[in-house]
Amino acid sequence: MRTLHNKNKMKITCDPETDSLTITLRQERIKESDEIRPGVIADFGYDGGIVRFEILQASKVVQNTREIQFAVNA
């Protein structure tokens, strides 16, 4: 499993054993999860806001799980 993160920052985890990719936007307890599209699960916090996304069968939708590009517009 490879993880790119800092405490209380956005985190991206790619797990080749489960073939999943998880994008965590914030560190909050999960109240509920919904499969918003086949193979895409959204987790919601107690405040109703999105906490993270999980992509199942990630190798079918992510071309290169060993590389990430991140851009911030200032």
Kindly report the pTM of this predicted structure: 0.79
Per domain, the residue ranges of the chain are: 2-60
Q: Are 22 and 39 in contact (CB under 8 A)?
A: no
Look up residue 52 and give its amino acid. R
The reported pLDDT for the residue numbered 55 is: 95
Q: What is the pLDDT along the chain (74 residues), one digit of tens a residue?
A: 555 545 568 889 989 899 999 999 999 999 999 999 999 999 999 999 999 999 999 989 888 777 777 777 77
Q: Would you state the structure tokens that stand for residue 49, as one six-digit string?
A: 């806001």
Q: Would you state the structure tokens that stand for residue 45, as one six-digit string?
A: 């916090």
- How far is 14 from 27, CA to CA, in rounded Å? 17
Q: Are 65 and 57 in contact (CB under 8 A)?
A: no
The reported pLDDT for the residue numbered 32 is: 97
